[in-house]
Every structure is written in C-alpha cells, then in structure tokens.
Structure 1
Amino acid sequence: MSIRIKICGLRTPDDARAAAVNGATDIGLVFFPKSPRHLSFAAAAAVAAAAPPGIRRVALTVDPTDDDLTALLQAVPVDLLQLHGHESTARVAAIRAAHGVPVMKAVGIASVADLDALSAYMAVSDAVLVDAKPPADGDLPGGNGLSFDWRLLVGRTWPVPWMLAGGLRPDNVAEAIRLTGAPGVDVSSGVESAQGVKDATLIADFCAAVRSA
C-alpha cells in the first residue's frame, strides 16, 4: 500500500523542496493568522511554486468566508482545500460546490462519540483528516502536537480517503499506521526544530519511518 504523506505548515520554498525530495505526496499551506505557520498569499505562492509537479498543494483554512476562499484561490495554486474550523456539513457541501476544488474536512477526535461526525462529513467531503481534538482553551485547531487513542480507529473503514493527524513524529508514525491502517498521514509540529520552523532532517526521518510501515 502506498501511503500519502502530508507535511503541513511549510513556510519556505526550501521546506517544500525538503518534503518533495524525501517522498512527501502533499504539502500543507496554513492560512490562519493565529498560527505560527500562517502565510501571506505571496509567501504561499512561492512555497507552492517550489513543489515539483505531482505534489498536492493543500490550503488549510479555518471557517473561511466565500470571499476569503475566492481571494486565496486566485492568488495561490491549490489542489485541495482543508477545512479545519467549525464548518457544518452544509457549509462544507456549499464550499465544495461553489469553488470547484476538492475539500478535506478535519474532524477532531477524543472519544468514540466523536466518530459519528466522521461519517457525516464523509458524505459531503472528498476526504477527511482524522485529528486530535484541540484543547478547549487553545487558540489553534491543529498543529498542537497532541495525539488521541489510535485504538479508536482499529478495524474501521470509510468510503472516502482519509489521513491520520495529531502528535505524529518520526518515532511513532510507523506504529500509528500499523495500528490504524491509515492510508495517509499528516505531520506539522512533529518535524519542527522550533515552533513553525521545519527541520529537513526530521522530515527525512518521518518519511523514512512511513515507508518502513
């Protein structure tokens, strides 16, 4: 099985090149001002341009308006929209219909009760990101370095592609894949030397660990 690898929160063209040369299939560009990984449209376009053909460019947004998305898509080449806020299923469906770009909805998981939301969002999304639920008092919807009990996903299958996120690092991603059968993984803080600063060695180690699984 070929596992998709998304390196999220890239901030420089060198980050994109490091992801690509080590076998990542996706790069994530963050558009959320509260995040240390937030990019201007100009900076994001430069990062996207550094990714070679075949790399999927994912734009992470949080509760965007239609005007926000129109401006983003006009300025930055984007292959997939990642919705990481409190978007309802109706809002996800509307975004998907209005903007002509595939949509991946992030869903936070803390307990088995949260799994019902996955099925609901799968009905209106092209893919889902299964992430750890953020702290109630936190500012960031993702990229917090937190994981959840991966055993909640054991033996489950879903009708659309999905990625596992939340607290993944080079030293635990292979175990996470073996346990959950995830067809894709997403990492941000787990390949950083400081908050918002990607480390090429950690990116290489992470991608190697995924391949080992």
Structure 2
Amino acid sequence: MTGSVRIKICGVRTPEDALTAVEAGADLIGINFVEGSLREVDTGQALEICEALEGHDVERVALFCNARWDKIDPILQRVPFERVQFHGDETEEELEAIDLPTIKAIRGADHEAAETYPGSILLLDHPHGGGGQGQAWDWSEAEDLIAHGHDVIIAGGLTPENVAEALADVGDIPPWGVDVATGVENDDRYKDPAKMRAFVEAIRRRKEAVEVEKESGEGA
C-alpha cells in the first residue's frame, strides 16, 4: 500500500503479469470474468493466477458484470478470491448475498447510487463510458463523496502521467484506492512492467509531496 491509498491493477490475464504487478506495489489484483471483455479469462486461467499469488500480501478480486448466480458461484467456489467487484446493474441485495467483501462500480460521483450500496466500496468510473475503456473524467467530482465518508476507488483513464493529478483533484482526504487497467498496458492488453512501476512510483511521489507540504505548514 502506498500511504493510505490502495492500488488496484485490474484486468490481469497471466500469472506473470500478476506477480509483476505485486512486485511493482499493487495491493489488489483484478481478474475479469466479463463476457466479451478483451481481458476476460476463464476459470482455469483465473485459478492459475490466484494460485501464483498465494503467500503474497495482495487481495485477489473477481470482476463480474450482470452475471447470473450460476456463473458466479462455481467460480467463487473453485478460485480463491478475497473480494468481488460488480460492474453492472446488480442490486444491493445481490451484493449482500456474496460472502466476500464487495466493490460496486458506479457512473462517476453519483450520490444516489452511492447511497444504494452502503455495504460496498464504490469504484467511480467514467460517467458516460463503461469500465476498462481508459477514459478520463473530472475526478474532482469524487471529493464530496469522500468527504461524506464513502470508501471510494478512483478509476477511469488513470495513467502514470495523471494519477498524481487525480489524487490532487479529490482534495485533502485521499480515496480508499485507485484502479488502473488500460493505463498500464501495451497495445495487446497485457500489462507493461515499466508502466506499472511508474504508476506506483507516481503515487508514492504524490504522497511524499503532501507530507513535505504538511511539514512545511506546521513549521511556518
């Protein structure tokens, strides 16, 4: 974990990419079961990835979108996950049926949606686009949700070049975490080790800059 901001690298497709992400500093690894996604993996691939991460200090996150329970349950029974993320129109009741902690993606800083899922961490993605598209948006809109005590993950178009700006945009209270997929990939949708390291390092530098600023203010 980089300071109090957790780093989630999503759409990991191989054990090698997963281990490289952990070495770079990821706190959560997202594994995508969304049908038709360029990052979709099957149960066997997911099991290989999750087994490779055994013993590492990282959470394994399963990602679904409007999936039927008869698809979700066999995967969660077979593959060791610590958390489940939902990216569709799932209800709070459906999320509560999951025995693991949940993340619920919503469109931008939607206060009504945030109140609909009080038991989940909220992943704020682009207001007008689907997840995993690499589209940036006005992250400052998340500031009010964070200030009201919601656990929020900032997502949507994050890259090593703009993640520090996104963290600055949400104000003095850091989000629960940040989520990146496209921003640390090559054109083939596999993860780029250098981009993952640069992403984590940008967050570390942002944290250090904030600490220096606070110390300067206290000494003034």
What TM-score, normalized by structure 1, do the two folds share?
0.87
Mapped partners of 2:58, 2:94: distance in 1: 26
Other-structure match for 2:107: 108
How many residue pairs get aligned? The number is: 199
Greater C-alpha Rg: 2
| Structure 1 portions without partners, runs of 5+ | 136-140
1:21 alignment counterpart: 23
- After TM superposition, where is structure 1 displaced by more than 4 Å over at least 4 residues in a row? none
Bigger proportion of residues as strand:
1
Gap change, CA 1:45 and 1:134, over 3 Å in 2 = farther
The 3-state SS of whatever aligns with 2:186 is strand
Read off the aligned partner of 1:99 and give its amino acid letter: I
Aligned-partner Cα distance in 1 for 2:202–2:114: 27
1:212 maps to 205
Paired position in structure 1 for 2:123: 129
Q: Distance in 2 between matches of 1:41 and 1:104?
A: 20
Q: Which residue identity is paired with 1:170?
A: P
Cα distance per residue 1:116-163 (max 9 Å; x no partner): 222222x2x33110111344xxxxx31000121122123542434221
Residues 65 and 86 of structure 2 are in contact (CA less than 8 Å); yes or no, is this contact kept in structure 1?
yes
Aligned equivalent of 1:145: 134
Query: Aligned equivalents of 1:153 and 1:60: distance in 2?
Result: 22
2:202 and 2:144 mapped to 1: Cα distance? 22
Q: 2:196 aligns with which of 192, 199, 203?
A: 203
Q: Distance in 2 between matches of 1:144 and 1:195?
A: 14
Distance 1:158 1:54, change over 3 A: farther
Alignment of 1:154 with 2:143, yes or no, is yes
Distance 2:76 2:16 in 1: 22
- 1:15-164 mapped onto 2 (5 Å cutoff): 15-51=17-53, 52-87=55-90, 91-96=91-96, 98-109=97-108, 114-121=110-117, 123=118, 125-135=119-129, 141-156=130-145, 157-164=147-154
Whole-Å separation in 2 of the counterparts to 1:155 and 1:86:
23
Using the TM superposition, give the Cα deviation of residue 194 of structure 1 relative to its aligned residue in structure 2, in angstroms. 1.1
Q: CA RMSD in A?
A: 1.6
Identical-pair percentage: 36
Counterpart-to-counterpart distance in 2, 1:30 and 1:4? 19
CA deviations on 1:50-78 (whole Å, 9 max, x unpaired) are: 22432000111001222111111012111
Which residue identity is paired with 2:113?
Answer: A
- Give the aligned residue type for 2:95: I
Give the Cα separation in 2 of the matches to 1:158 and 1:120: 15
Contact between 2:9 and 2:29, CA under 8 Å: does it hold in 1? yes
Between the aligned partners of 1:33 and 1:116, the Cα distance in structure 2 is 27
Contact 1:189 1:195 in 2 (8 A): no
Closer, same or farther in 2 for the Cα pair 1:95/1:120, shift >3 Å? closer
Q: 1:9 and 2:11 equivalent?
A: yes
Alpha carbons of structure 1 residues 79 and 158: separation in structure 2 relative to 1, 3 Å: farther
- The equivalent residue for 1:138 is none
Distance 1:108 1:86 in 2: 11
- Cα deviation code 1:86-127 (max 9, x no counterpart): 22xxx233332x331111100012xx6x33222222x2x331
